[in-house]
Structure 1
Amino acid sequence: MKFSILIANYNNGKFFQDCYKSILQQTYQNWEVVILDDASTDNSVEVIKNIIQNDSRFRWYENEKNEGVGFTKGKLIELAEGEICGYLDPDDAILPNAVSASIQVFQKKKDAVLTYSRLAKCDVNLKPISEFKAAMQVPNGNMNWFNCPVQIAPFVGFKKAVYETCEKMNPDLKIAEDQDLYFKMYEKGNVYFIDQTDYLYRAHAGGISQNDNKQKSYEYFSKAIFLAMKRRNLKTIKGKKVPETYKNSREIFDLLEYQNSFPHRVLKKLKVIFQQVF
């Protein structure tokens, strides 16, 4: 079973050496890396090509013009040759058992469409600052699930064959394209949490979800949720009407306010336990 590590690059060549080293350290060896550069304006192309050189396990592509992350990540899936795919940002890194742990779940759980583990937030030098403690198993088969509050986060692996039965990655999403993917895969089968930290997320000024992009991230996340609501043909949530058209993020997140409540969290935990036992 081959794992395709998908890398969408835009102006992050200066961090790629750490990313590259982390891939070479994987304990699971049946992998490929597909890199698609989104018309970088720095020296990323030269830097990354120099690092990967003639290693046939790394395949290099370039967009003719800047298309955005939604388009680029969708194209990466098309280019992938592996049965399982997973994204790795060029400024981040994965720990040695990341790919192996995901593959093991897919080999054992035939109903699995997506796996995910835990990330650690790191400083600019990839020194861990804190782990993402909210990551945990979510209930499967609940069409009111929208990863809000966030529990599914990288490192994520997903079946390419299942993705190809979904609506494809939305090219209009410049941020939260990962959430859009999680929702679509969730609608097709079961997702499984791997209880270990596998992904090193580098926080730095140029990061897509940093600084001025935080509010944009919030807005795109709500748009991805709204699109999922429509795709699932939801008319109401807990008695509140789902709007016909998207107006603003507040209207969407208000529908999900109950998911932060203590009773809801307890009930969700009980559902997870029940599904794990039976």
Structure 2
Amino acid sequence: MKDYGLVSIITPNWNCARFISETIKSVQAQTYQNWEMIIVDDCSTDGSDKVVEPFMKEDRRIRFLRNEKNSGAAVGRNYALREAKGRWIAFLDSDDLWMADKLEKQLKFMVDNGYHFSYHNSIDIDEDGKERGRIVTGPKRVGSISMYNYDWVGCLAVMYDAGVVGLIQIEDIKKNNDYAMWLKVCKNADCYLLDEILAKYRVRAGSISRQKKTVLVKWHYKMWHEAEHQNPALAGFNTIRNMFFGLIKKLLYEKYY
């Protein structure tokens, strides 16, 4: 198999002891093996470190770092990105899963086409790993303007070339911090869709995707206002814009089976 270079996998963790071993195993099962997995724990209280410890002893590619205090996923991702050594940056939250050929197919897709930012399709699973009957896809190409319209890409599906994009660091916001990251990446590279299902997104009780619409609106506004430093009027406009294109995404890019 062709070696495309080191992939740094960014995995924030908070109280995911129940799921993280399965997540790690999905990385270890990759057909492409030149990777490092950087897990940043956000002061978990459920023994997550004890779950990860045996994996680290057996596999030196897995690193376990800790935030000094409970700080949220944005701080954890920033920390991991500063520690990352790979040319390629990928993201996998500590309760989600990858298909075994995810890295191999995505790297080939990017290198063969000269792309520096990409994503792929995913399916939803529940807390017990059962498929929920939803496939999530998106536009074939997402540029900076299109990314302003909506966060079309799933965190577990993204990969970018750090040699082109550079080091990304985002503001300390509690929600939508992955969206804030893609807005920065898109300033340097358009994002292209690999139209294959290569990951499983775990939908859990209390996740932002299951919160009331009023709560979602609030987090979108805070992202534009606090992370993008937009004035209230512009932040409000972009929040309304997000809600409109969120409906478009549901209509065009969510499929059920």
Aligned-partner residue type, residue 200 of structure 1: K
Secondary structure of 2:170 counterpart: coil
Count matched residues.
245
| Match for residue 125 of structure 1 among 124, 128, 134 | 128
Q: Is 2:225 the partner of 1:221? A: no
Change (3 A) 1:211 1:22: same
CA deviations 1:141-183 (Å, max 9, x no partner) are: x5364242x43223110122344365x2222x11111111111
Secondary structure of 1:116 counterpart: strand
Mapped to 1, the partners of 2:98 and 2:213 lie a distance apart of 24
**Structure of greater Rg:** 1
Q: 1:261, CA displacement in angstroms?
A: 9.3
Aligned-partner residue type, residue 4 of structure 1: S
Query: Contact 1:179–1:221 (CA<8 Å) still a contact in 2?
Result: no
Mapped to 2, the partners of 1:31 and 1:205 lie a distance apart of 31
Mapped to 1, the partners of 2:43 and 2:122 lie a distance apart of 28
1:2 maps to what in 2? 6
Secondary structure of 1:13 counterpart: coil
Percent identity, aligned pairs only, is: 22
1:46 maps to what in 2? 50
Q: Is 2:29 the partner of 1:25? A: yes
Aligned-partner residue type, residue 160 of structure 1: A
| Match for residue 137 of structure 1 among 136, 140, 143 | 140
Runs (4+) of structure 1 exceeding 4 A deviation are: 210-217, 225-230, 247-251, 255-262
Change (3 A) 1:139 1:124: closer
Aligned-partner residue type, residue 112 of structure 2: K
Query: Contact 2:9–2:35 (CA<8 Å) still a contact in 1?
Result: yes
Q: 1:87, CA displacement in angstroms?
A: 1.1
Query: Contact 1:5–1:33 (CA<8 Å) still a contact in 2?
Result: yes
Change (3 A) 1:213 1:19: farther
Q: 1:191, CA displacement in angstroms?
A: 1.3
Bigger mean CA offset, 24-33 vs 244-253: 244-253
Any unmatched runs of 5+ in structure 1? 231-243, 267-278
Bigger mean CA offset, 129-138 vs 56-65: 129-138
Mapped to 2, the partners of 1:139 and 1:9 lie a distance apart of 28
1:169 maps to what in 2? 170
CA deviations 1:218-273 (Å, max 9, x no partner) are: 4233333457876xxxxxxxxxxxxx6236975433346775799xx99xxxxxxx
Bigger mean CA offset, 33-42 vs 123-132: 123-132
Q: Is 2:192 the partner of 1:192? A: yes
Any unmatched runs of 5+ in structure 2? 253-257
2:240 maps to what in 1? 254
Query: Contact 2:122–2:137 (CA<8 Å) still a contact in 1?
Result: no
Change (3 A) 1:52 1:126: farther
CA deviations 1:81-103 (Å, max 9, x no partner) are: 11011111111111111111221
Mapped to 2, the partners of 1:219 and 1:84 lie a distance apart of 33
Mapped to 1, the partners of 2:165 and 2:217 lie a distance apart of 25
Mapped to 1, the partners of 2:231 and 2:45 lie a distance apart of 36
Q: 1:52, CA displacement in angstroms?
A: 3.4
Aligned-partner residue type, residue 219 of structure 2: Y
Secondary structure of 1:146 counterpart: helix
Change (3 A) 1:260 1:118: closer
State the superposition RMSD in angstroms: 3.0
1:157 maps to what in 2? 159
